[in-house]
Amino acid sequence: MPSFTEGSALPGLWLFRPMTRDPETRPTPQLPGLAIVLVEPRVPENIGAVSRAMMNFGLSELRLVAPRCNHLGRGARAVAVGTDRILKGALLFDDLGAAVGDRGTIMATVPRRPTRSYGLIPAREAAPLLIEAALPPATAAIVFGREDNGLTAEELSLASQHVAIPTADDYPVLNLAQSVLLVASELYSAMEPPRPAGRKHPSPPAPNDEIEDTLDHLDRTMKLLRCPAARRERIRRDLAEVLTRLPWETKQLSVLHTILHMFDVYDLKEKWRRPPS
C-alpha cells in the first residue's frame, strides 16, 4: 500500500510517496493473459497515462481500437515516462470485435447502469474473476470506452460482464486514465502468489471468434429449416447472451456444432427424398 508523509517545506501539505519494498520478497505480479482495450481514445495524454498505470500494476498488453490520435506522439510519451515499451507494443484494431476475438473472457467498464444490466459488478468484485480468467493458458480482456460517450450497446453485448467503478454521487465522472488506474489497482491488490507446480488449471474459455462461429452456424441451420428472419434474429440474440454470460469451453461449443450439424444433415436428406416439384 502507498504511504503518506508530511512535507516539511509546506506545513499541512501531505506528499504521496510509494512505499519501498524488497523485490526479493514480493516480485511484481504479472498477468500476461490480460489485455487492456481502449476504444477510440482521442487524447494522447490519456493513452500515455494508461500505459503508466499499467506498468505501475504489472500489466503489459495494450490494445487500441481505431485510435483518434497518435499514441506514439509527444503528448502520449511525455506522460508515459519510462513506459514507452507499452506504447510501442500496443496492438491496433479497426473494431472492438477484432480486438477481443481471441479472448476467452471479456469484461467492459460502464460509467453507469446500462440498459441491459445483466452481469453488472463493482471493480473490486470483478478483479479476482478477471485474474482467474487470465491465468495461462486462458486469456481475458477488460474494455474501456470512449472518453466522451463510452461504449455502444452493440459493443457492450460482446462482454460477459459489465464493470462499474463506485464513485461519489456528487461527481461520478472519471476520465479514461483514472478508470484504468483504479481497475489496475484492484487487480494488483487481488493478485495471489502463483499456483503450486502440478496444480491443474481449468480449461480456458473459448475465444470470442469461436462463439461467433457457433452463432453463424446456428443462423445457417435456421435458414435451412426455413425459420423466419425475425425469429432467427431473436434466437441468435438470446443464444449470444447465454454464450457470453457463461465461460463456455471449446469442447462445449463443439457439442453445439454437432447438434446443429445433425439438423443440417437431416434437412439435406429430407430434400433428397422429396420428389421434385
Position 164, amino acid: A
Taking only the tens place, the pLDDT of each residue in 173-206 is: 889 999 999 999 999 989 865 555 555 556 777 8
Three cell numbers, residue 268: 439435406
Can you give the pTM of this predicted structure? Answer: 0.67
Angle at 33 between CA 196 and CA 195, to 5 degrees: 5
Taking only the tens place, the pLDDT of each residue in 116-148 is: 555 689 999 999 999 999 988 899 999 999 999
Please give the helix or strand (H or E) that residue 265 lies within, else none.
Answer: helix 250-273
Is residue 211 within 8 A of residue 243, CB to CB? The reply is yes
Q: Nearest-CA neighbor of 38 among 54, 25, 21? A: 54
Q: Residue 35 half-sphere exposure, CB side, CA atoms within 13 Å?
A: 26
DSSP class of 36: E
How far is 32 from 35, CA to CA, in rounded Å? 8
Question: How many residues in the chain?
Answer: 277
Position 173, amino acid: V
Q: Nearest-CA neighbor of 256 among 202, 220, 204? A: 220
Asked whether the predicted pLDDT for residue 240 surpasses 50, the reply is yes
